[in-house]
Amino acid sequence: MKQSMLYPCTNAHRSFASLDGLWKMQFDPASDGITQNWQDGLPDPFSMPVPASFADVFTEKEKRDYCGDFWYETKFYLEADDGRDVILRFGSITHRATVYINGVCAGFHEGGFTPFVLNITELVRFGNRNRITVRVNNELNETSIPCGTTKVRKDGSRLAQPYFDFFNYSGIQRSVHLLKVPKEAILDYDTAITLNGSDAVISYQVKTSGEHSVSAEIFDRKGNRVCANTGKSGELLIRDARLWNVRDAYLYTLVFRILDDNGGEIDKYPARLGVRTIEVKGNRILLNSREVYLKGYGKHEDFEVIGRQFSWTVAKRDFELMKWTNANCFRTSHYPYAEEWYQMADEEGFLIIDEVPAVGMMRSLMNFAAAGAGGKDTRFFTADTVPQLQKNHKEQLEEMILRDKNHPSVIAFSIFNEPETTYPEARDYFAPLFALARELDVQKRPLTGALLVNSTPGKDTCAELCDFISLNRYYGWYILGGPDLNDAEGAFRAEVDAWRPICENKPLIFTEFGADTHAGEHKLPSVMWAQEYQNECYEMNFRVMDSYDFVKGELVWNFADFQTTEGIMRVNGNKKGIFTRNRQPKDAAFLLKKRWEQK
């Protein structure tokens, strides 16, 4: 069942129980849990909520910053065997996990931001209590993404040293579900949409674990059936289709059923369907054949105390704030978010650039400064670790697309964020990943990747792989900040001029730009870190962007302040947020609200 990323649902054939709650947890700094048989029960655990990022619940620094192996344990009761498969589904475990059921290894997963499932039918005890133990590791290295290194201190303890500018939150960070599904089950499906006048043709493919036939039906919002077909692949025709649009998100319900030889149901899976097309044509981005300008944010899954744990309340607040500022888009920087974010975006009519966690592909413990100011290449893609890194990158790219491919909100996939792309080995590394994404995505969404400031025309080797160009640029902050703001504008214009020949046939969007600002800091004349300066920096950036007709989007960095590794250039985190970490507006929020109302 590893190939099934379908979100849990319940009906006559499928059921699930949430295993969220208070689990047991224990750190394993010596990595001797296996030899001491911790898979059979943790010897000295403490309680830990699941899901949660464990770091911010503690008051001790050594626990907050813990790096290495750590374990979780819980028990669940399973009723009598009813003939269905028992599936254990983790929304995410960061970064790698080995799962044991009643002391027996059930499977391993690498990658901290996508779900994985395990068929544990043969390992559970029906009519009895069962134990789950999970061995987790959150160390960073150069063979898995996101990239970084792990420092061993004099006392033998380890410290994560990210090559990226956000905190290395880890643990069982998303929900855990115990599913029961039929032996012959729906595993996956693909949809592709073609508009024909006012009608829509939905091409579909369904993957099951058996040979029985499949039916497909589409229902409108009122529950009326609008079309149907049979077969594991086929087409569904919606007459006078209601399209899914920005901030006007009409959703149909698509229902697949496996039918036995007498027409009875074996399995059923319902899903939401948004009828929309997305394409890049010349230097325009077209949604439903109409040009769309992307305006919004880079974000993080980050909030006080809960870290990267998903909260419906926080997500609702974020969407309300994005609507208040008249945004229409966000990038899942720098990893796939919890699935519920995409469900809400489907409902709210927001556009998503979905990003694989390929961040930190340059050796710098202050990569934000190096990337922003034009740091020196470290020849990252010439290392011996590259083959294993690329293998993990491919697997996580595949898992992201497999999970998110049917969301109408997802309009593009981002293959990387700020890697070194100025030498041929970088292109050799990324070209197969772009090819894989094009192969996997039936909807053929545009592909992109966010380029750092070193990646300029004539030097960059990977922009040609992208369907639209995405630039992270910090003119007025890392480059020519403060008293040199006027010079920053000239330097910014000079670079965008250099992109013009490339952007005759490709849109250009800015995926990061902005300035750190403390919410309570005001000063006239302005200085860096004051709210007045943040506004001046944005106004300069907007003057430049508005001068070029091939600029088709602006995603400011960042939606809200977020936690990072501590250091002399970070005052308890990154302060580039338009909103504070607890979601209150800075002055720049009102600037964006006014601009995007008219954009």
- CATH number reported for the structural domain that contains residue 431 in this entry: 3.20.20.80
Let me know: does 201 contact 247? Beta carbons within 8 Å: no
Which residue type sits at 526? Answer: S
Residues 312 and 365 in one domain: yes
Task: Assign 296 to helix, strand or coil.
Answer: strand
Strands (E), 102-157: 104-110, 116-119, 128-137, 148-152
Report long-range pairs for 150-158 (Cβ below 8 Å, ≥24 apart). 150/67, 156/29, 157/29, 157/62, 157/67, 157/68, 158/29, 158/67, 158/68
Locate 482 and state its tokens. Answer: 């403060």
Say if residue 498's pLDDT is above 60.
yes
Can you name the residues that pair with 172 across neighbouring β-strands?
Answer: 93
Q: Which of 181, 204, 225 is the last residue of a domain?
A: 181
pLDDT of residue 365: 67
Work out the pLDDT band at 571, boundaries 50, 70, 90: confident
Residues 197 and 173 in one domain: no
Q: Which of 181, 196, 221 is the last residue of a domain?
A: 181
Can you name the residues that pair with 188 across neighbouring β-strands?
Answer: 207
Chain length of the chain: 599
Evaluate whether residue 152 is within a structural domain. Answer: yes
Evaluate whether residue 7 is within a structural domain. Answer: no
pLDDT of residue 374: 55
Evaluate whether residue 5 is within a structural domain. Answer: no
pLDDT of residue 1: 42
Evaluate whether residue 437 is within a structural domain. Answer: yes
pLDDT of residue 375: 58
- CATH number reported for the structural domain that contains residue 90 in this entry: 2.60.120.260
Q: Strand 225-230's sheet: what is its strand order?
A: 225-230, 213-219, 252-259, 265-273
Evaluate whether residue 177 is within a structural domain. Answer: yes
Residues 404 and 512 in one domain: yes
Let me know: does 139 contact 68? Beta carbons within 8 Å: yes
Locate 251 and state its tokens. Answer: 């959703």
| Spatial distance between the Cα atoms of 65 and 348, rounded to a whole number of angstroms | 37
Each residue's pLDDT tens digit, 213-230: 999 999 999 999 999 999
pLDDT, averaged across the chain: 95
Let me know: does 170 contact 94? Beta carbons within 8 Å: yes
Number of domains in the chain: 3
- CATH number reported for the structural domain that contains residue 214 in this entry: 2.60.40.10
Chain Cα centroid distance, residue 285: 21
Mean pLDDT of 487-500: 97
Mean pLDDT of 66-80: 97
Residues 36 and 147 in one domain: yes
Residues 246 and 290 in one domain: no
Residues 123 and 242 in one domain: no
Locate 277 and state its tokens. Answer: 């097309």
Check residue 596 and give left, alpha or beta (phi > 0: left; psi -120 to 50: alpha).
alpha
Which ranges constitute the DSSP H helices of 293-423? 312-324, 339-348, 367-373, 386-404
Catalogue the active-site residues: 418, 512
Q: Which of 181, 202, 224 is the last residue of a domain?
A: 181
Residues 249 and 293 in one domain: no
Each residue's pLDDT tens digit, 97-137: 999 999 999 999 999 999 999 999 999 999 999 999 999 99
| Spatial distance between the Cα atoms of 583 and 569, rounded to a whole number of angstroms | 22
| Spatial distance between the Cα atoms of 505 and 320, rounded to a whole number of angstroms | 35
Which residue type sits at 190? Answer: D
Residues 328 and 203 in one domain: no
Lowest mean pLDDT among 146-150, 183-187, 522-526, 565-569: 565-569
Q: In which element (H, E) is residue 24 found?
A: strand 21-28
Residue 463 φ then ψ, to 5°: -60, -35
Mean pLDDT of 156-163: 94
Q: Which residue do the tokens 């480059």 mark?
A: 479
pLDDT of residue 4: 78
Residues 177 and 190 in one domain: no
Each residue's pLDDT tens digit, 297-343: 999 999 999 999 999 999 999 999 999 999 999 999 999 999 999 99
pLDDT of residue 370: 55
pLDDT of residue 552: 98
Evaluate whether residue 2 is within a structural domain. Answer: no
Each residue's pLDDT tens digit, 248-265: 999 999 999 999 999 899
Which ranges constitute the DSSP H helices of 58-160? 61-64
Which of 359, 360, 362 is CA-nearest to residue 379? 362
Evaluate whether residue 302 is within a structural domain. Answer: yes
Can you name the residues that pair with 506 across neighbouring β-strands?
Answer: none
| Spatial distance between the Cα atoms of 583 and 589, rounded to a whole number of angstroms | 11
Residues 423 and 560 in one domain: yes
Work out the pLDDT band at 5, boundaries 50, 70, 90: confident
Which residues span the domain enclosing 134? 15-181
Which of 37, 58, 40 is CA-nearest to residue 49? 58
Say if residue 366's pLDDT is above 90.
no
Q: Which residue do the tokens 């497909």 mark?
A: 216
pLDDT of residue 231: 96
Query: CA separation (Å) from 514 to 24, 191, 319, 588, 598?
Result: 42, 37, 21, 10, 20
Q: Which residue do the tokens 């007709």 mark?
A: 549
Work out the pLDDT band at 567, boundaries 50, 70, 90: confident
Task: Assign 426 to helix, strand or coil.
Answer: helix
Residues 308 and 270 in one domain: no
Each residue's pLDDT tens digit, 372-393: 555 567 889 999 999 999 999 9
Residues 467 and 362 in one domain: yes
Mean pLDDT of 261-273: 95
